[in-house]
Amino acid sequence: MRPEGLRYGCLAAGPGLAYHQQTITGNGVPERAEFNAIVDRFAERVYNHALRMLNNREDAEEAMQDVFLRVHRSFGTFRGDAEFSTWLWRITVNVCLSRRGSRWKRRERIQVERISDDIPDDAPGPDELLSRREERRRIAVLIARLPGREAAALTLYYMEELDYATIGRILRIPPGSVATALHRGRERLGKMLRAERE
Amino acid sequence: MSEIMRCKEYRERLHLQIDGGAAAGAEAAMRAHAAGCASCVLFLEQSTALDAMLRDLGRAPVPLPALSSVRDIPLRPRPLPWLPDVLRAAAAIVPAVLVWAGRALLPEAIEFLTPAAIAFAGAFIIVTAALRPRLLGSSV
């Protein structure tokens, strides 16, 4: 049997692994301190992934809450065959896809909400800043309009900087299909951008 | 590498090249194609610009109330944490018991009971595997 500490290998690079290991209860359910350490480590990434996939702040917040709730409830079923982060991303992608699906079922259009306030502000000149922010905002809106697999692959590739193999493990598809999803996603995104400009 | 490369192939390879995963030896054919295809040259420029924009998206901070609400999620242990082990054990034990009981009690029906037990075990494994995400959440 795999030693308990190795199940949370993702935390090895983080602070206080020894403490986390001590607080894991016998059935693999994390204590509050360990759970909060995981939340602190991954919340921003999970939130931003949900924001790109759903393009709606409220939905992204709810999705993040749902992800961490599932992480806690499913800790006992994490078999440790993959990295913890792969497991977490799989849950995140599933939650976001499911929310996109239920929104579609309710026949709600993906809300083109102004999320430009959520775009980081780091460009120098005012004109350049404005155009870069506008471009980022448009791209963020358009990513949420892509088919689920393409949006997930693009978000994992560009925001999380994961390689094809890891994205494939998360989406349960071969690396070749990841390349295809990324290619199609970028092609579609380019077409949508051009259509908006015209 | 064929000297004739279609636009579709060029564009697929271009994205692989942007990601650093293009196969060696394709560059010459790609250059040859781009030299005679204005729309693919435009596609190259647009793809490079789009790639730069996607890399530049950045991350937004999590709103504090949302972060607090996640940190304050009531942590309850999963109900029935022993359920997966029981289901796995049942998948193995029930068919075995059926076969054993069949041999002991209905020796004339054993020819029927053995395939029935195997079919039961197979159906049980398929159903529990299909329901696993609902019952237990995602697992790796």
Judge contact between B54 and A139, C-beta under 8 A.
Answer: yes
Q: What is the rounded distance in angstroms from the CA atom of residue A85 to the CA atom of residue A98?
A: 20
What is the enclosing helix (H) or strand (E) of B102? helix B83-105
Distance of CA B56 to the CA centre of its chain: 28
Buried b (16+ CB within 10 A) or exposed e, B81-114: eeebeebeeebeeebeebbeebeeeeeeeeeebe
- Residue spans of the domains in chain A: they are 1-110
How far apart are the CA of B96 and the nearest CA of chain A, in angstroms? 26
Given an 8 Å threshold on Cβ–Cβ distance, is B137 in contact with A73?
Answer: yes
Given an 8 Å threshold on Cβ–Cβ distance, is A36 in contact with B58?
Answer: no
Q: Which residue of B has its CA nearest to A78?
A: B139
pLDDT in tens, A7-30: 343 443 343 333 344 444 445 556
Given an 8 Å threshold on Cβ–Cβ distance, is A70 in contact with B138?
Answer: yes
Buried b (16+ CB within 10 A) or exposed e, A68-95: bbbbbbbbbbbebebebbbbbbbbbbbb
| Encoded amino acid at A193, one letter | L
Which residues does chain B have within 8 Å of residue A91's beta carbon, measured at their own beta carbons? 137-138
Q: What is the ipTM of this complex?
A: 0.71
| A106 has a pLDDT exceeding 70 | no
The position carrying tokens 């998206």 is: B57
Split at pLDDT 50, 70, 90, the class of B95 is: confident
Alpha helices, H only, chain A: 17-23, 32-54, 57-74, 84-105, 126-143, 148-158, 164-171, 175-197
pTM, two decimal places: 0.68
pLDDT in tens, B99-133: 777 777 777 766 776 777 778 777 877 777 666 65
How far apart are the CA of B64 and the nearest CA of chain A, in angstroms? 11
Look up residue B4 and give its two tokens: 């004739």
How far CA A10 is from CA of A96, A190, B105, in Å, comes to 22, 35, 54
Of B60, B84, B140, the CB nearest to A90: B140
Q: What average pLDDT does this structure show over A55-80?
A: 85
Which residues does chain A have within 8 Å of residue B54's beta carbon, measured at their own beta carbons? 139, 154, 158, 186
Q: Does domain A1-110 have CATH number 1.20.1060.10?
A: no
How far apart are the CA of B1 and the nearest CA of chain A, in angstroms? 20
Residue A2 pLDDT: 31
Q: Rounded to 10 degrees, what is the CA torsion of A85, A88, A92, A95?
A: 160
